[in-house]
């Protein structure tokens, strides 16, 4: 099992942030999106929020690759619809490459 931590910002608008949180509430999640995420090899995914900064933890199968996930995402119309909707709320963090959404965070500490 591999684990990744990524970050992304939300637009600095309290109403948009609340709407984004509503989209991610258990009763509002899109079942097809959750199934698709699991089909890419993701076992667990959690998103945390502080202000506008988000942090996503992913635990994935050992054979998981982001390239494979990206390819599967491009071929799935529901995922494309979800990603386009979410981009209305999101903005890249400083230092992200053009068009880059979630970016990897560097692990710098682990409790021995």
Q: For each of the domains in the chain, give its residue range(s) and CATH number, in order of start.
A: 2-104 (3.30.70.1090)
- Give the model confidence (pLDDT) of 14-34 as tens digits: 999 999 999 999 999 999 999
Nearest-10 Cα torsion for 84, 81, 49, 95: -40
- Give the model confidence (pLDDT) of 2-15 as tens digits: 999 999 999 999 99
Mean pLDDT of the region 92-105: 94
Tokens standing for residue 32: 């097809």
> How many Cα neighbours within 13 Å face the side chain of 107?
8
- Give the model confidence (pLDDT) of 41-79 as tens digits: 999 999 999 999 999 999 999 999 999 999 999 999 999
- Assess whether pLDDT exceeds 90 at residue 99: no
Mean pLDDT of the region 81-107: 95
The pTM score is 0.92
């Amino acid at each position: 099992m591999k684990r990744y931590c990524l970050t992304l910002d939300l637009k600095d608008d309290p109403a948009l942030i609340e709407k984004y949180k509503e989209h991610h509430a258990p009763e509002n999640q899109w079942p097809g999106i959750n199934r698709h995420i699991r089909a890419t090899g993701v076992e667990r995914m959690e998103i945390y929020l502080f202000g506008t900064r988000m942090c996503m933890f992913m635990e994935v199968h050992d054979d998981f690759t982001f390239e494979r996930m990206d390819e599967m995402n491009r071929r799935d119309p529901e995922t494309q619809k979800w990603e386009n909707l979410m981009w209305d709320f999101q903005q890249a963090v400083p230092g992200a490459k053009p068009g880059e959404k979630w970016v990897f965070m560097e692990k710098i500490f682990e409790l021995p």
